[in-house]
Every structure is written in structure tokens, then in C-alpha cells.
Amino acid sequence: MASNIVIGAHVEQTDPVAEATARETTLVQFFLGDPQGYKGPEVRYSGGPEGLRADAEKAGVDLYVHAPYIVNVATTNNRIRIPSRKLLQQHMDAAASIGAKGLIVHGGHVNKDDDPATGFDNWRKAVEATDIKIPLLIENTAGGDNAMTRQLDRIGGVWEAISAAEGFEDVGFVLDTCHAWAGGIELASAVEKVRSITGRIDLVHANDSRDAFDSGADRHANFGAGQLDADEFAGVVRDAGAPVVCETPGGAEEHRADFAWLREHGV
């Protein structure tokens, strides 16, 4: 039986529609501008935001935008938290302007000596402060001593806090397989446990891991080239039943090979 799970990839941002075509897929994720900078989003597509939206719709390609890595709305450091909120809103607006299906953002962290509850509440404030125009998808992360979404209990803390926020119904979850493994979440029960906390998995970041279980290291590998057990890895993707983004090394050829690997393993 053919799976109806759509498998796509993270691609270069200049022409996402062409990148989707090269990978023979209908789903791509990309950055808008610099993933490490506060400068704000930039649509590099030659036709601008409206052109990208129209061309993606015409080609039947679903677009997802990944917010910059530096966004950390949980931190107690005002010089990071306040610009992070601003940057999150700018990327939300830009992602909505191109018709993206969701904006992905990492869970962030608080300082080593901070009470995690402060970070949970900062997440609530961030959700309330953001004009959420398309789904805001919070992703689990691999490392950090005081991370908000590395461990299941912390994800639970964030979810409990934001569930009281106005706009919460438009917040979803991204399950990253490499981050789960490296963050110490058992893959065999990951989907069930995450769903019991969040009630939903909106997107899967399918990535093998170069590093050991609970290592805290975020280094992605192509499928079969890392340390994830093949059956457990494919099982997570299958059980989540959500659209899939492969954030693996290489270009179109390597990504098509990763798509094929997932299909061969029952996704």
C-alpha cells in the first residue's frame, strides 16, 4: 500500500519551487534570509513574495519556513529575548506573505542557573505577543543544559504554559528524529509520548544522527549512515503520520536517495 505521507527536504532559499522539482517532491522547507542573523527576513526569489506564493501554488508545492536559529524567546536575557520576539514576528509575516504552511522555531533555552519555569512563562508571553498568521511550529532540540524542548518533561512545561495563551490553537509541534535521539528521547516511544503532551505532531524533521544517544550533539546524517536504528527511525516517521522534511547533507540526488530509503523502510 502506497503511503500518503509527503516527504520533502530543506533546500536553498533562492528558488524553492525549482528545488522541489529537482527532488521530485511537493514539499520544501527553507530559511528567509540569514539563519544566524537579526537583520530580518529576506525573500530571495526573483518574483518576490507574491511571485513565490503564486508559482508554488501553481506547481502544487507546499512551503515551510524555518525561523533563524538565534531566535530564543525563552531566555531571561532581555537583549536576546526582545529582539527574538521581534524577529519571530518578522518571519511570521514574511512566511505568511509567501503562503507558507508553517513557521518552524526552536524551543530555545534559559541560562544555566535559571528556573525553567521562567522560560515556560516567557514562551507563553511570546505566543501572546505574536500575531500568529500561519501555524507556529515549535521544534524539539538536541542540546543545551537548560533547554526548553530537549526533554519530554520540559516540552510538557512549555505546552502547559502556552496552553493558557491566546493564539495557542495555532501552535503546533515539529518532531526531529536526530534531536530526539541526541536529546535522550527513546525513539520507540517518542511519537506516543510527544502526542500525550502536545496532542499533535504537525511536521517531522527526518534526520539520522552522527552521534550517540543522549549525546546532546546536533549533527545530521543521511539515512543509514548514522546511529539510528533503521526500524525505529522509520517507525517514528510512519507513526507520526505528518509531512516530512529531510534536513540531511547534500543536494537533490542525496535527498532523493533519502526519500527512497524511507519508502523502502515502509514510510
96 to 51, 132, 200, 212: CA distances (angstroms): 13, 9, 22, 37
At residue 44, the pLDDT reads 96
Q: How far apart are the first and last CA of the chain?
A: 10
What does pTM read for this prediction?
A: 0.97
Architecture of domain 7-264: Alpha-Beta Barrel (3.20)
Strands (DSSP E) found in 107-227: 136-139, 171-176, 203-206, 208-209, 220-221
DSSP-derived secondary structure letter, 157: H
- Residue-wise pLDDT for 93-152, tens only, equals 999 999 999 999 999 999 999 999 999 999 999 999 999 999 999 999 999 879 999 999
- Residue-wise pLDDT for 223-250, tens only, equals 999 999 999 999 999 999 999 999 999 9
- Residue-wise pLDDT for 167-223, tens only, equals 999 999 999 999 999 999 999 999 999 999 999 999 999 999 999 999 999 999 999
Rounded to an integer, the average pLDDT of 58-71 is 98
DSSP 51-115: HHHHHHHHHT-EEEEEPPTT--SS-S-HHHHHHHHHHHHHHHHHHHHTT-SEEEEE--B--TTS-
At residue 1, the pLDDT reads 44
C-alpha grid cell, residue 92: 511570521
At residue 145, the pLDDT reads 78
At residue 48, the pLDDT reads 97
The rounded distance, in Å, linking the Cα atoms of 230 and 224 is 7
Residue 2 pLDDT exceeds 60:
no
The rounded distance, in Å, linking the Cα atoms of 36 and 23 is 26
The rounded distance, in Å, linking the Cα atoms of 212 and 143 is 12
Domain positions in the chain are 7-264
